[in-house]
Amino acid sequence: MKNIGVTIVDYGVGNLYSVQRALEVCGASDICISSDPAEILIADRVVLPGVGAFADGMRGLRERGLDSAIREFAKSGRPLMGICLGMQLFATKSDEFGEHTGLDLIPGKVNAIPPKGVEGEHLKIPNVGWSTLDQPAHICWEKTVLRALTREQSVYLVHSFHFKPDSQNNVLATYQYGGNNITAAIVEGNIIGLQFHPEKSGEVGLTILSQYLQC
């Protein structure tokens, strides 16, 4: 049986071991946690996890020389997945606690979740909990990591900011929060970003990670 190799990027702000364990459950047999740019460049697949603030994440990548390595890896066509903060770092920039430059792998900006619902009600920020995913009308999930999902299944989210790509073609999934449309997943070729935590989303999350390992 072919080894399924995944390198998880360690840049000082990631929930590394829960992601590692979830990938192991899904059948990944060769998992490396690394902060070495050289190991990132030769990886079969790369996962960029993360929790916390955008500026801290980019600082962690730059201090280790990982920002350039991830950009180069993205050009290779091999599967690259960002989870939560890791997804947001794919953006051009973020306005979280000031304006900060991201990896610019998918053009767009990270903005705060609207603090009010469409009817004016105050929303709890950060949004913590389970939500079902919506499939945009222009997107087909058939050839993506979401292809095995149904509309009844929910994923687990913890965040105050979300990624708004410049092009709607990059929006793979959304969810509703107070009637607001919030980005839940993005895609651009070999690059996939998940705002939710698949490693904390039970069987649904494991299904998504299993699909990633088949990329």
Q: Which two tokens stand for residue 98?
A: 């000031």
Check if 197 is active-site.
yes
Contact in structure between 8 and 40 (CB atoms under 8 Å): no
| Active-site hit among 100, 159, 188, 199 | 199
Helical H runs in 26-178?
A: 37-41, 54-63, 66-75, 85-88
- Catalytic choice (100, 159, 162, 197): 197
| Cα of 53 vs its chain's centroid, Å | 14
Q: Which of 26, 32, 84, 138 is catalytic?
A: 84
Q: To which residue do tokens 């990132």 refer?
A: 40
Q: Between 202-213 and 16-25, two packed helices, what is the crossing angle to 10 degrees?
A: 80
**How far is Cα 24 from Cα 6, in angstroms, rounded to an integer?**
10
Please give the positions annotated as active site.
Answer: 84, 197, 199
